[in-house]
Amino acid sequence: MKHLISLVMLSLLTITLTFAQEESSSFYATMALIDAEELQKEYPNEITIIAKRRNEAAVLISEEGSHKLHGRVLVHGPGFIYKSSESQAKQALLNDNKSAAQSKMAFTITEDAIVNLAMDAINTQNIANHITELENYGTRYHTSSAGAQSAQDLKVKWETMATTFNRSDVSVRLVNHTSTPMPSVVMTIQGSEFPDEFVIVGGHLDSTSSQGNNDAPGADDDASGIATITEATRALFEIGFQPKRTIEIMAYAAEEVGLRGSAEIAADYRANNVNVVAVGQFDMTNYNGSVNDVYFISDNTDTSLNAFFKQLMDYYNASGDHQLTYSTALCNYGCSDHASWNSQGYKASFPFEASFSQYNPNIHTRNDTFSISGTAEHATKFAKLCSEFLIEVAKNDATLSTPEFEAEGYYIYTNNKTLTYQIAETSSKVESIDIYDMNGRKILQKEDIGTSGTIIMNSISSGVYVITLALKDQRQLSKKIILK
């Protein structure tokens, strides 16, 4: 057994060393032509332009050159998209067929009740705790053992969260990559009616630092995004949301070195003709550096999906406790994982925490810690936006008003914490009204029901519940309700 363990450790060390050696050598990528030309003028030994088309370039760039690129001309993200070969880099310049994968689904806003419940369920402290938890790895650099461990641990965290809420429709998997030893993490919530239509939100799990990748806490970039999408999903579980379309929550590997994890996943989905309806990217959500709360990145994103996000905010966040403000901003070439999906023809949107002239100056340093913000209030706003997006695009499977129920002469509705019922004289008599939570636990029963009345439910928490009428003819009628 000791010999076997030694062999396994040796194999892992060999893999890590192999990737480390690849990291120290040059690699192929695509990037903005203007950035490539400027970098070549200043650091001619670090980059070779091998092809040009329009405003893009295919390049061979050294690791040192990639650091120079980021420090010289960029404020966020790697600024390039990693390619595994020269031919792949050149081919990427020719890829104009971006419309083939586009979903034709019309985006609508119809789920007021469940969306408001979800926003109320978002817990700021949960986000803060998760950011700190990820920061405490010290680094999540894609070739580090801590980076791989953070992915393993996030898988367990998401699995535990699903188990806590008895979600048998949820699975979590690791996605291994060819370009990095760090796996991505994907949580899937199976759609009940349209399981082959996918709604995706993601952020990147890895971190980097120009001061040494062993000291790369990455609290804002991008522990905040991972904590944001995790809490949005937990809130959906808490209120019992069950999607009609399949939802996937993704924590991408190796974004900081060329969008490697998301690029492989998006390319795989495109190759297999996966119907991705829409993708939301959450990369940096907790630095409140600008006058508006949210800035929608206008390049490498889909105009119609950006417009829908804005419609969501106009509808749900124009005033009151959930008020948010927004504007737009330009990013840069390949500045986050949305670009991977966009390059494969999928609709992607990237709501960002600030304008790019007022970005968090501590990212990619050892000072990117949670203490800079002190709270998770800003990220909470993005978690609310994320929950709105997931609910309205995936749509709720709970039928909150069923004509069949009322057709039989049983009228039940709720206002705040009061349930009012009315039973037609021609309907079968009711023995009891029972109320169940979404885990199937009976939490209230009322017997000796007359033809009308009210039930006060102040002791019951807000959420989605099932009302069951036990009829004297041995039948049962059920209806889902929302308590606010």
Q: Which residues are catalytic?
A: 204, 221, 255-256, 283, 364
Residue 10 lies in a domain: no
Residues 291, 432: one domain?
no
In a shared domain, residues 368 and 410: no
Are residues 293 and 331 both part of a single domain?
Answer: yes
> How is residue 95 written in tokens?
């890829």
Mean pLDDT across 396-421: 68
Last residue of a domain, one of 331, 360, 394: 394
Same domain membership, residue 245 and residue 375 = yes
Domain end marker among 351, 368, 394: 394
End-to-end CA distance of the chain: 57
Q: What is the CATH number of the domain that holds 409?
A: 2.60.40.3080
Strand partners, 282: none
Looking at the fold, whether 199 and 137 belong to one and the same domain comes out as yes
Distance CA 462, CA 459 (A): 10
387 and 412 assigned to the same domain = no
Structural domain count of the chain: 3
Q: Is residue 418 part of a domain?
A: yes
CATH of residue 36's domain is 3.30.70
Question: Cβ distance 323 to 314 under 8 Å?
Answer: no
pLDDT band (50, 70, 90) for residue 470 = confident
The H or E element that residue 122 is part of is none
Measured CA to CA, the distance from residue 331 to residue 131 in angstroms comes to 24
Q: What domain range is 433 assigned to?
A: 403-483
Decide if 312 is inside a domain.
yes
Query: Do 377 and 421 reside in the same domain of the chain?
Result: no
CATH of the domain at 167: 3.40.630.10
Q: pLDDT band for 43, please (50, 70, 90 cuts).
A: very high
What are the residues whose beta carbons fall under 8 Å from the beta carbon of 14, sequence distance 6 or more?
none
Residue 2 within a domain: no
Structure tokens at 386: 């994320």
Based on the domain organization, do 89 and 128 belong to the same domain?
no
> Does residue 18 lie within any of the structural domains?
no
Give the model's confidence band at 61: pLDDT under 50 very low, under 70 low, under 90 confident, else very high: very high
Structure-block tokens of residue 470: 């036990």
Least confident segment among 10-19, 349-358, 363-372: 10-19
- pLDDT, position 198: 98
Per-residue pLDDT, averaged over 26-55, amounts to: 92
- Residue 41 falls within a domain, yes or no? yes
Residue 96 clears pLDDT 90, i.e. is over it: no
DSSP H or E stretch at residue 78: none
Cα angle value 175/177/178 (rounded, 5°): 160
Residue range 19-28: average pLDDT?
Answer: 64
What b/e sequence results for 246-267 when a residue is b if at least 16 CB atoms lie within 10 Å of its CB, and e otherwise?
Answer: bbbbbbbbbbbbbbbbbbbbbe
Question: 214 and 291 share a domain?
Answer: yes
Q: Which of 361, 394, 427 is the last residue of a domain?
A: 394
Strand partners, 299: none
Mean pLDDT of 273-282: 97
Distance of CA 132 to the CA centre of its chain: 18
Looking at the structure, tell me whether residues 227 and 340 fall in a common domain.
yes
Phi-psi region of 90 (alpha: psi -120 to 50; beta: other; left: phi over 0): alpha
Between 454 and 159, whose confidence is greater?
159
Whether residue 98 has pLDDT greater than 70: no
3 lies in some domain: no
Question: Which pLDDT band, with edges at 50, 70 and 90, does 76 fall under?
Answer: confident
Q: What's the pLDDT tens digit per position in 199-230?
A: 999 999 999 998 889 999 999 999 999 999 99
Q: Which of 247-261, 350-364, 393-407, 445-459 has maximum average pLDDT?
A: 247-261
Structure tokens at 406: 């009322």
pLDDT at 354: 95
Bond prior to 222 in cis (omega within 30° of 0): yes
Question: 275 and 335: one domain?
Answer: yes
The answer to whether position 39 is within a domain reads yes
388 and 437, same domain (yes or no):
no
